[in-house]
Structure 1
Amino acid sequence: MMRTFTGTFTGTPSLVRLALRRDRIMIPAWVLSLAVIVIGTASSISTLYPTEAGRASLAASMAANGSLRALYGPVYGTSIGGLTAWRMGSMGPALAGLMTLLLVVRHTREEEEAGRLELVGAGVVGRRAPLTASLITGCGASLLLALLITLGLLTQGAVGAVAFGLAFGAVGCVFAAVAAVTAQLTESARAAKGIAGALLGVAFLVRATGDAAAPGGPEWVAWLSPLGWAERLHPYAHERWWVLALFAGVIVLLVTAAYALVAGRDLDAGLLPSRPGPERAGRRLRGAYGLAWRLQRGSLWGWAFGYAVSGLVFGATGKGIADLGRTNKSIADEINHLGGTHSLVDSFLAAMINFLGMLAAVYIVQAVLRLRGEESDGRAEPVLATAVGRLRWAASHLVIAAAGSVVLMVAGGIAMGIGYGASVSDVSGQVPRMTGAGLVQLPAVLFVGALAVLILGAAPKMAMASWSAASLTLAIGLYGPLLKLSRWVLDLSAFTHLPKVPTAPATATPLLWLLVLTAALTASGLAALRHRDMG
């Protein structure tokens, strides 16, 4: 029988069950997807590098290439498990952190902002119960992921599998605790996610900076990031179990801070004061499009900054790829699988711009689903009570979503052109080239957004399923070619049908077909939205 919580923790078990019921699809989708990707990566490495000599050659190539160390981290072991830990040891835990911060904010600040937490709090529920339940849910999902990864990699060595699984679980718990703090700071769930997501991005950049500097440089910088700790746990390479104490210490500090903050603020309030608005709205806020821009602009600028930084990093990495290709044919083949078969550097740049395109699909789904948030939280009703019709209201957000996608791909392309052009003394030539490559990704990005519009219009209660389209796009695009999946599986992603610019010329036919399908799906979604009940 479950132990009953008393005092400020009263009702925690019931809230945990409620959270698990609400996320009965979201949590398994995240956990299973990440576990399958990790296990599939191990299988791919065993196929590509079946011999110890081949794996040792790969490890030596990585150690000599600062660009790829920045992307993937250093190699600490040459076994199949060790190379899997290298390949997934930074990006995988970062995705686990993203999963948990979204879960914690969803069950704390989002519930508070929507007014549901006030209703729950009117019952027999302690002050700290909602925060505790969200932490149990987020950390539980992380530990479940750790267990699945451990079981999936047992054949590569039990000790290393446990260490690698714990690396995922520990990072997930750290960012669950980070989100628990940010949820107390602001009055908006969007801001809480933005701050926690920005801290996750900073952790990744700090880790990349330290890894790129090793060996011989300021490698200690990577120790400033929890993602760097996950790598330095050394799964499959003389494990450093004491690193787990760093995770435990930070988690305890952050959770303690979150509990102190939740006890010191009013319900619905944030510790960071919100600025009062002017008495009268400016001209830009007197229309649907001005309001949509005001609601969406903060998210867009944050994404654009991330794209600019990522583009510079990817572009600067390009020059080192050529040297790597001359020393390691297997890596060259992998890059060509992702980006085409022209020159190795162009293949790498094509793969990276394609990756930015797939991330833009995540942005556009987020921007489209802002409509559902406005509708379900009751903020759309006052707008629609004026002369603004449903289609105009929806179009205001969709135009921002589409234009924002253009901004992201242009920012990423320009930054990548600057990063690569500076390394080869050809900025003026590379900037327009990579900007064009970025624009080629837009039909696929818009297609994913159109799927979200269709689901939102026809089945609003299943609107969150739109994230499945973005997740599927990312998973197939990132790992499908490397895992040599069947062609019909690869074709499920719209990005598979795009020309691999700049390795190949941009052909109009697939781009036009994607745009036609995008228009049809968007029109169908808007027609359904126009005729269904709101709320």
Structure 2
Amino acid sequence: MTERLHGTWLLVRFELRRDRVLIGAWLGVLTLTVVASAAGTASLYSDTREQVAAAEAINASPAIVALYGPVLDVTSLGELAMTKMTVLYAAFVAFLGVVLVRRHTRVEEETGRAELVGATAVGPDAPVAAAVLEAGLACVAIGVLAAAADVASGLPVAGSVLFGASWTGIGLVGSAVALLAAQVSSSARAVGFLASAIIGAAYLLRAVGDTSVTWLSWLSPFGWGTQLSAWSSPRAWVLLLHPLLAGVLVAVALGLRRRRDLGAGLLPDRPGPATGSPRLRDAVTLAWRTQRTAVVGWTVGIGVMGVLMGSIIPSIGSMLDSDGARAVIEAMGGIGGVQDALLAAITSVVAVVITCFGIAIITRAAGDEHDGRSETVLATATSRDRLLLAVGALAILGTTWLLLVAGLATALGRGDGLAAVGASLVQAPATWLVLALGLVLLTLRSRWAIAGWGLLAVFVTLGQVGESLRLPDWVVGLSPYSHVPKYPVEAVTWRPELAMTALAGLALVAAWLRFRSRDIG
């Protein structure tokens, strides 16, 4: 047994070094989000009566409960403050496990690197063990950081520790789901889609359980986070369910792994047509063909998110039924002003999520270059200009399309005009600038494309929570997101929009000039 795991810790160290930017950015953004939520909620309510009224308003809205989960103890400040974190943001923790395990299992097999590693002095089970261990360490780290953030923000220590442990547990489940999916398909893209579908189904099952058939929540690992009731009358034994499920999924995955060949999946690959379409000779068409499933999946996901978010906005007045909140409402021009402010805030968060789609397209292009696929395409009559155009157009036009979908879906959920469409589209220049900088990183050196995630994390930190952290204005202003007009709260000012568009254009020109001259790979 020891021989089969020989070299595991060496591979763990190597993978941690490779993923230091990715993991650091993910942990940093999630931790700052916890700090902002914990610190901000306490300042909204002056006494327990107001907290109870807000919690009861959340429970009275099926849309909010479906998205965030219920507040089991309406008198608990910690549970009210961590409502979004317990379920919605737990999904991001689960996806962290998916990304790490998929990257170091199926992606390594698809590119042939797993076979090269296996030819060295490592045990046959070491690569899989290393991937699971790295994901586990990342999940433990985010759990510890979340607990520390809650304690530092003034929430009870016991509840903070239990909440952090629940995040660790859901991350372990996400990692195990990805490992199981990696045994089913030989395509890294299909593995990501399958794992995302399983996590989405678990989230939907929890939403149905929390809004109608209560016992269904116990069938979903996302429901366990709520049923834990970390902040009052905790059921600590619920924390055992996450590692138990993860252990079962890992055991099943390892059993399936022994039934397949390296590089293959349990499901046979479908043979493609004997002759490819002549349209695939064009790089832009080829890029669309390889990414259309992702575009469709993102479109559906963003549409559902927009409808849910939009349906929450009309009920915001009942959630802010406190003396302090009423003063804020009056200062903002009544309930309508508060709803507009919430709309602006929601669209800014959704814009960040959509930017992740474009960054993923760019990092995918870097992977194609590392694995030799870009060189193969350039060996045909395809020019470098056309290849870069394919990547840039798909990233930028794809995010613009998703912003439009988000706006229309939010307007549909809100049922009140098309202000949501304008609020979503004003985010476009900021996303264009971030993606243009990501393309610059790609063209400077393909391996630098992964730093686009770190760049996004920095911009989100500065733009979304920079003011809450009381950073200097010039530091906050480094983020493109900080210059987006807060429409419809305020009128659209075109100067920053045009300036960011112009900067994005200059960055694209710089990327084009660099890509024409550097070596491929």
After TM superposition, the score normalised by the length of structure 2 is 0.91
Correspondence for 1:412: 406
Rounded to whole Å, the distance in 1 between the matches of 2:478 and 2:56 is: 36
- The counterpart of 1:143, out of the listed 140, 145, 149, is 140
Question: How far did 1:370 drift?
Answer: 2.3
Deviates more, 1:344-353 or 1:375-384: 344-353
Q: How does 1:116-131 map to 2 (within 5 A)?
A: 116-131=113-128
Rounded to whole Å, the distance in 1 between the matches of 2:329 and 2:131 is: 40
Correspondence for 1:218: 213
- Map Cα deviations across residues 112-161 of structure 1 (whole Å, 9 max, x no partner): 11211101111233332211111111011111222233344446333222
Q: Per the alignment, do residues 220 and 489 of structure 1 end up closer, same or farther by CA in structure 2, a change over 3 Å counting?
A: farther
Question: How far did 1:260 drift?
Answer: 1.1
- Map Cα deviations across residues 309-353 of structure 1 (whole Å, 9 max, x no partner): 11121222222224434567539959999x999622222223222
Rounded to whole Å, the distance in 2 between the matches of 1:484 and 1:332 is: 23
Q: How does 1:440-455 map to 2 (within 5 A)?
A: 440-455=426-441
- The counterpart of 2:340, out of the listed 340, 346, 351, is 346
Deviates more, 1:449-458 or 1:10-19: 10-19
Rounded to whole Å, the distance in 1 between the matches of 2:183 and 2:330 is: 43
Rounded to whole Å, the distance in 2 between the matches of 1:375 and 1:64 is: 52
CA RMSD of aligned residues (A): 2.7
Correspondence for 1:11: 7
Correspondence for 1:293: 288
Q: Per the alignment, do residues 368 and 22 of structure 1 end up closer, same or farther by CA in structure 2, a change over 3 Å counting?
A: closer
User: Secondary structure in 2 aligned to 1:25?
Assistant: helix
User: Secondary structure in 1 aligned to 2:295?
Assistant: helix
- The counterpart of 2:458, out of the listed 472, 483, 488, is 472
Letter in 2 for 1:81: G
Question: How far did 1:488 drift?
Answer: 3.7
Q: Per the alignment, do residues 403 and 65 of structure 1 end up closer, same or farther by CA in structure 2, a change over 3 Å counting?
A: same
Rounded to whole Å, the distance in 2 between the matches of 1:497 and 1:476 is: 11
Q: Tell me whether 1:42 sits opposite 2:38 in the alignment.
A: yes
Correspondence for 2:271: 276
Letter in 1 for 2:298: W
Rounded to whole Å, the distance in 1 between the matches of 2:474 and 2:102 is: 37
Deviates more, 1:302-311 or 1:325-334: 325-334
Letter in 2 for 1:45: T
Q: Per the alignment, do residues 406 and 157 of structure 1 end up closer, same or farther by CA in structure 2, a change over 3 Å counting?
A: closer
Question: Are the equivalent residues in 2 in contact too, given 1:334–1:482 (CA < 8 A)?
Answer: no
Correspondence for 1:231: 226
After TM superposition, the score normalised by the length of structure 1 is 0.89
Q: Tell me whether 1:103 sits opposite 2:116 in the alignment.
A: no
Rounded to whole Å, the distance in 2 between the matches of 1:37 and 1:407 is: 27
Deviates more, 1:480-489 or 1:450-459: 480-489
Correspondence for 2:480: 494
Correspondence for 1:240: 235
Q: Per the alignment, do residues 28 and 444 of structure 1 end up closer, same or farther by CA in structure 2, a change over 3 Å counting?
A: closer
Rounded to whole Å, the distance in 1 between the matches of 2:464 and 2:238 is: 29
Rounded to whole Å, the distance in 2 between the matches of 1:92 and 1:319 is: 22
Deviates more, 1:465-474 or 1:110-119: 465-474
Aligned-residue identity in percent: 36
Deviates more, 1:515-524 or 1:342-351: 342-351
Letter in 2 for 1:183: A
Correspondence for 2:109: 112
Question: How far did 1:234 drift?
Answer: 1.0
User: Secondary structure in 2 aligned to 1:457?
Assistant: helix
Rounded to whole Å, the distance in 1 between the matches of 2:476 and 2:55 is: 29
Rounded to whole Å, the distance in 2 between the matches of 1:340 and 1:386 is: 62
User: Secondary structure in 2 aligned to 1:343?
Assistant: helix
Q: Per the alignment, do residues 459 and 499 of structure 1 end up closer, same or farther by CA in structure 2, a change over 3 Å counting?
A: same
Question: Are the equivalent residues in 1 in contact too, given 2:464–2:481 (CA < 8 A)?
Answer: no
Rounded to whole Å, the distance in 2 between the matches of 1:156 and 1:363 is: 34
Question: How far did 1:385 drift?
Answer: 1.2
Letter in 2 for 1:165: G
Rounded to whole Å, the distance in 2 between the matches of 1:340 and 1:227 is: 36
Question: How far did 1:34 drift?
Answer: 2.4
Count of residues paired in the alignment: 518
